[in-house]
Chains A and B, each alone.
Chain A
Amino acid sequence: AQSVTQPDIHITVSEGASLELRCNYSYGATPYLFWYVQSPGQGLQLLLKYFSGDTLVQGIKGFEAEFKRSQSSFNLRKPSVHWSDAAEYFCAARPGSSNTGKLIFGQGTTLQVKP
C-alpha cells in the first residue's frame, strides 16, 4: 500500500543549529512529494514540492529538501533554525500518474526550538 512515514514524532534543536526532518515514502513509482508546515492553530502551508528534475529543491523560509530515489526519501533541511520555525511539519505524496489532488500525509514531526 502507498504510504508516507515520518520516523521522528518530536525533534528539539537549539536556535541557530541545523535541522533535518526525515520522510520516507512507499510507492510503485516516483511520486510527487511535498512538505507542509503547520503553525499552532493554523492551516497547512506549502514549504516546497518535488515532481521531477533537480533532486535538491528550494522552498520558502530558507528550507530545502533532497529527493533520493535509492533511499525512497525526501528529507527536509535548514542550515540554521530560527525560533519562529517551531511548528509541526508534514511530508506528503501522491502518485505522479494521478489526475486528482489526493495526497497521503505522514504522521507529522513536531519541531521545538530551544533558545
Chain B
Amino acid sequence: NAGVTQTPKFQVLKTGQSMTLQCAQDMNHEYMSWYRQDPGMGLRLIHYSVGAGITDQGEVPNGYNVSRSTTEDFPLRLLSAAPSQTSVYFCASSLAGTFRTGELFFGEGSRLTVL
C-alpha cells in the first residue's frame, strides 16, 4: 500500500547544479501537485497536473519544471539550483473532478539544501 512515494528524502546541491525530485503514486489519481514548505509560509503550490500530458503553474513556479508523461509519475526538475530553493518539497495527489472532495494524499517529503 505505497500511496505517494518521493525520492530522494534528502539532497544537498551546489548553486547551479540541476536535479530531479521523483514522485510516483499508485492510486490512479488524476491530479498531482508539488508544494514547497518554508517556515511561517505554509505550503505553496509550485506546479500541478490534472492528467497525463497536462501541467500548469501554481503560486511559485519560477526555477522549476514538470512533466506528466504517465498517470503515475510527476517529476519536479530544478534546472539551476539557487539557495532560495532550499526547502522541503511535498508531492501530493488526489482524485479530480467537480463533485469529488479532492482531499490530497501526501508523500513524506524531500528535504533539499542548496549551498
Q: Give A contacts to B, CB under 8 Å.
A: 6, 9, 32, 34, 36, 41-46, 49, 51, 90, 92, 94, 97-108
The residue from A41, A97, A99, A102 contacting B58, defined by CB atoms under 8 A apart = A102
The reply to whether A98 and B42 form a contact with Cβ atoms under 8 Å apart is: no
Dominant secondary structure at the A interface: loop
Q: How far is the CA of A94 from the CA of B95 in the complex (A)?
A: 14
Q: How far is the CA of A105 from the CA of B41 in the complex (A)?
A: 9
Q: How far is the CA of A40 from the CA of B58 in the complex (A)?
A: 26
Q: How far is the CA of A37 from the CA of B98 in the complex (A)?
A: 25
What residues of B have a CB within 8 angstroms of the CB of A51 in the complex? 101
Q: Nearest chain-A residue to B59 (Cβ)?
A: A104
Q: Nearest chain-B residue to A45 (Cβ)?
A: B106
Q: Which of B91-107 contact A (CB under 8 A)?
A: 92-98, 101-107
Given contacts A9-B40, A43-B90, are A99 and B106 in contact (CB under 8 A)? no
What residues of A have a CB within 8 angstroms of the CB of B108 in the complex? 42-43
Interface size class of B (residues with CB under 8 A): 20 to 34
| Per-position 1/0 for B27-46, Cβ under 8 A of A | 00001010100001111110
Q: Nearest chain-B residue to A46 (Cβ)?
A: B103
Query: Given A100-B96, A102-B33, 15 other A-B contacts at CB below 8 A?
Result: A34-B103, A36-B106, A41-B109, A44-B106, A46-B105, A97-B98, A101-B31, A101-B48, A101-B103, A101-B104, A102-B48, A104-B45, A105-B35, A106-B42, A107-B40
8 interchain pairs, CB-CB under 8 A? A32-B101, A32-B102, A34-B103, A36-B106, A43-B90, A44-B106, A46-B103, A100-B50
Q: Nearest chain-B residue to A4 (Cβ)?
A: B42
Q: Nearest chain-A residue to B49 (Cβ)?
A: A100
The reply to whether B106 and A98 form a contact with Cβ atoms under 8 Å apart is: no
The residue from A43, A94, A104, A105 contacting B102, defined by CB atoms under 8 A apart = A94
A59, chain B: closest CB distance, angstroms: 11
